[in-house]
Amino acid sequence: MFKFRFNKWYPYLLLSPALIVLLLLFLGGVILGLSQSLGYFPVLGLEDPTFKYYLEVWSSTEFLHSLAFSLFISFVSASLTTVIGVFFAYQLLKMRNENKIINFLYKLPIIVPHIIASLMIFLILTQSGILSRFAYHLGIIDEIAQFPRLVFDKNGFGIIAAYLWKQIPFVVLMVYTVLKQINGSFEAAAKNLGASESQVFREIYLPLTAPSIASAFIIIFAFSLGSFEIPYLLGPTYPQTLSVLAYKNYISLDLTQRPYTMVIAMSLTMITVILIIIYRKILSLISRYHID
């Protein structure tokens, strides 16, 4: 009898430290942020919940431009990252002998923080950067001003480049690990029946890795959306991404602005929650391919 009760509560006991931390810090943070964005902010003397701040922020052009800019950057960088990452992982899998140097080098960006990734993209892509110097020596441009603005530009080119450099290795790692576990006899059988290499990829490897590819895409999309350093260091002064907008509003010392800032932060949160819901829908759609 005692043993039964013990077993029943055992998993919760094991989980309790993690749950306490996650509930207090994470869920607590989200709930407090939400109530502040709704104008419940006792420290400031605001106690009546209202949608006023949401209506004001969501109808401002600056916010809408930032929203569009953020979504554009996240979507482009997450799509490119996923496609290139999956391709690279597949090539790595097909390479006959493992190469230690390559295995080390391609993982290096994972330990390099975003600030340093921004610096490197700046050193290479800025108008006086390395690429512009190569362009001069190849005779493509004659003076510095002819080189296009690739950082601090309105299209977010520099930001996307930095995200790609930083995140492709992450996708390669995630997908490569899954690819390696796929039973080789599927491929052998397909080849035996006359499948080409692209067919093997499309009909066997792609469906079997689809769930991890989808989760990589969502994680990267959400991360790019909420990340601050790269768009702050490489982005234009206008439009700014939502994260930069929230940060700039937050550090302004005017505390009465705080609910507006929290609306921006909560908008980011809401987009990511919607993403998780979409992700679960997609996952249940593709999981019918999954062989257990």
Partner 1 sequence: MFKREIYRKILIYALTFLFAFPLLILILWAFSGQWPWPNLFAESFTLEGWKYFIDPANGALESLATSVIIGAAVTFITLVISIPAGKAMGLYNFPGKGAVKILVLAPLIVPPLAVTMGIHINFMLLGLADKLIGVILVHLIPTLPYSIRIMTHTFEGLGDKFEAQARVLGAGTIQRFIHVTLPLISPGLFSAGILVFIISFSQYLLTFLIGGGRIITFTMLLFPLVNSGDRMLAAVYSLVFIVSALIFTLLMERVLVNPKQKTDHFYI
25-54 residues in contact with partner 1 (CB under 8 A) are: 25-34, 36, 43
The count of residues in the chain is 292
Alpha carbon distance, N-terminus to C-terminus of the chain: 35
Cα–Cα distance measured from residue 77 to residue 57, given in angstroms and rounded to the nearest whole number:
26
Q: Give the residue among 282, 283, 93, 74 at the shortest CA–CA distance from 172.
A: 93
Here's the x/- map for partner 1, 237-276, by CB under 8 A: it reads as: ------x--xx--x----------xx--xx-xx--xx-xx
> Smallest gap, in angstroms, from Cβ of residue 69 to partner 1?
16
Using CB under 8 A, pick the residue from 38, 66, 114, 150 that binds partner 1: 114
Using CB under 8 A, pick the residue from 76, 121, 160, 204 that binds partner 1: 121
Using CB under 8 A, pick the residue from 6, 19, 49, 287 that binds partner 1: 19
* Subset of residues 178 to 197 that bind partner 1, contact rule: CB under 8 A: 180, 197
- Tell me the window of 52-60, 75-83, 126-134, 283-291 that interacts with partner 1 (CB under 8 A): 126-134
Which element (helix H / strand E) includes 137? helix 130-137
Q: Report the amino acid identity of residue 205.
A: Y
Of the pair 10, 51, the CB lying nearest partner 1 is at 10
Which element (helix H / strand E) includes 48? none
Using CB under 8 A, pick the residue from 182, 191, 229, 286 that binds partner 1: 229
Ramachandran angles phi, psi of 46, nearest 5°: -95, 120
Whether the CB-CB separation of 114 and 249 falls below 8 Å is answered with: no
> Smallest gap, in angstroms, from Cβ of residue 46 to partner 1?
12
Region for 25 from its dihedrals, namely left if φ exceeds 0, alpha if ψ lies in -120 to 50, beta otherwise: alpha
> Smallest gap, in angstroms, from Cβ of residue 185 to partner 1?
20
8-state DSSP, 142: S
- Judged by DSSP in three states, 41 sits in strand
* Subset of residues 140 to 179 that bind partner 1, contact rule: CB under 8 A: 144, 165, 168-169, 173-174, 177
Cα–Cα distance measured from residue 72 to residue 94, given in angstroms and rounded to the nearest whole number:
33
Compute how many residues bind partner 1; rule: CB under 8 A: 94
Of the pair 251, 291, the CB lying nearest partner 1 is at 251
Whether the CB-CB separation of 86 and 168 falls below 8 Å is answered with: no
Using CB under 8 A, pick the residue from 52, 65, 133, 191 that binds partner 1: 133
- According to the binding rule CB under 8 A, does residue 107 interact with partner 1? yes
